[in-house]
Amino acid sequence: MSPALPPEDAFAGPFPLASLDGPEPFEERLERWRKELSDAIYGPLPPAPAELEVEASPLRGSPAERIEITMRSANCTRDLVVDAALWRPESRGDAPLIAGLGFAGPAGILPGPDFPLDTRARIHCGPELGVENGRLHDVLRGTESHRWPVGMLTARGYAVMVSCYGSWAPDDPDEIMTHGAYPFAGLDTGAISLWAWAIQRLLDTAELLGGIDMAQVAVAGHSRLGKAALWAAANDTRIGAVLANNSGCAGAAPAGHAVGETLDQMAAAFPHWIRPRGGAAALDQHHLIACAAPRKVYVASAEQDLWVDPAGSYLALVAASEVWPETCSWPGIEEMWTGARQTRHVALGHHLRPGGHELLPYDWQRFQEFLGEVRA
Ligand code: GCU
């Protein structure tokens, strides 16, 4: 069967991505881009909580542990308590970590009934799943196990930590104000920043738990959680690798490429996600990717998922690669689309897979090849 030809709709012609050169030394340029992205799109990341404590307990009938994370603000006016699950590999010694937020969190991954459902979490979830008002519900148990194939990852020697994004910042324009990181931090910012902050707290948690090799930390996220993973990586150098799956608008997809969702459409549908305060129009998503340099970045797309602009996301990664010390050679866009579907360099990687908007074991196999197989 011949490979699918690029649909005309996917390309939309050449488009300018501003140069990443600048007058300042590289580190200062990165700082400026972070600040400008925060002003132009996401809003600020809250500071780390004054105190963070973790408690691990075994989970009945499962190799996972339940981790309770308690955070205290500087003025001690309120606590924030969120849970996560941790799967450890059998191998001895400190394990490399893959951490991230999931839509239904640990309950969505674990098949059994034992992980408690956070009744205050609010998640985005179609009514066809039988869930009302975005609440976590028993019917969601195990429905996301294909998105986080923890058995496959622990067998390869990784520890995996996942938490429910809606526990950290409810995915709802009203509820976000009353529960989670927004009222805890007392800072007017967007949900993508709050989810990025949540990813940072998972790393604080990993540091405290021990048994994790903090020099080998990857964070992964799908779609809106891919946006959050990229923004977290842009801001936290503990993240050694970011795996951004189908991250789209405000993720890897540049606004300057007229395919898929626009920032205005996103802000209209999800007004709580971003907090633009005006600012640098010359900045685009290749700046976001570049903020993770010289650490590892992998961008993954699917050919039918034009809403997240696979072609533009690839070109943003290619443009960003300029600032990495290694010289990368990338297939042209048409060649990538019709044949060279995966490209891997030491620190940068990309694939386009058949199919639509999902995070699948196929994507994880490619991610693992990129991270380098860790032996159990
Ligand atoms: C919507 C939204 C996207 C987002 C996606 C998701 O499609 O418009 O920006 O990435 O949801 O998170 O699944």
Mean per-residue pLDDT of the chain: 94
Does the beta carbon of 235 lie inside 6 Å of ligand 1?
no
What average pLDDT does this structure show over 54-68?
Answer: 95
Cβ contacts of residue 44 below 8 Å, gap of 6+?
38, 187, 189, 193
Question: CA torsion 355→306→152→154, rounded to 10°?
Answer: 180
Does the beta carbon of 266 lie inside 6 Å of ligand 1?
yes
Candidates 223, 285, 304, 305: which one to mutate for ligand 1, based on the most atoms within 8 Å of Cβ? Answer: 223
Among 38-47, 115-124, 237-246, 272-281, name the one with the lowest average pLDDT: 272-281
What average pLDDT does this structure show over 233-237?
Answer: 98
Which residue has a Cα nearest atom 13 of ligand 1? 223
Q: What's the pLDDT band for 376 if we cut at 50, 70, 90?
A: very low
8 Å CB contact between 172 and 122: yes
Per-residue model confidence (pLDDT) at position 3: 54
> Which residues does residue 51 pair with via DSSP β-bridges, in sequence order?
72
Does the beta carbon of 222 lie inside 6 Å of ligand 1?
no
8 Å CB contact between 317 and 291: no
Does the beta carbon of 249 lie inside 6 Å of ligand 1?
yes
Cβ contacts of residue 120 below 8 Å, gap of 6+?
167, 170, 179, 180
Which residue has a Cα nearest atom 2 of ligand 1? 266
Asked if the model's pLDDT at residue 127 lies above 80, the reply is: no
Q: Is 123 left (phi over 0), alpha (psi -120 to 50) or beta?
A: beta
What average pLDDT does this structure show over 194-206?
Answer: 98
Per-residue model confidence (pLDDT) at position 165: 98
Does the beta carbon of 224 lie inside 6 Å of ligand 1?
yes
Burial track 126-165 (b if 16+ CB lie within 10 A, e otherwise): eeeeebeebbbbeebbebbeebbbbeebbebbbbbbbbbb
Candidates 123, 261, 265: which one to mutate for ligand 1, based on the most atoms within 8 Å of Cβ? Answer: 261
What average pLDDT does this structure show over 230-237?
Answer: 98
Per-residue model confidence (pLDDT) at position 4: 64
Per-residue model confidence (pLDDT) at position 75: 73
Asked if the model's pLDDT at residue 184 lies above 50, the reply is: yes
Does the beta carbon of 229 lie inside 6 Å of ligand 1?
no
8 Å CB contact between 302 and 244: no
Atom of ligand 1 nearest to the CA of 247: 10
Q: Kindly state the percentage of the chain with pLDDT values over 90.
A: 86
Q: Which two tokens stand for residue 295?
A: 């650490």
Atom of ligand 1 nearest to the CA of 227: 10
What average pLDDT does this structure show over 313-330?
Answer: 95
Q: What's the pLDDT band for 1 if we cut at 50, 70, 90?
A: very low
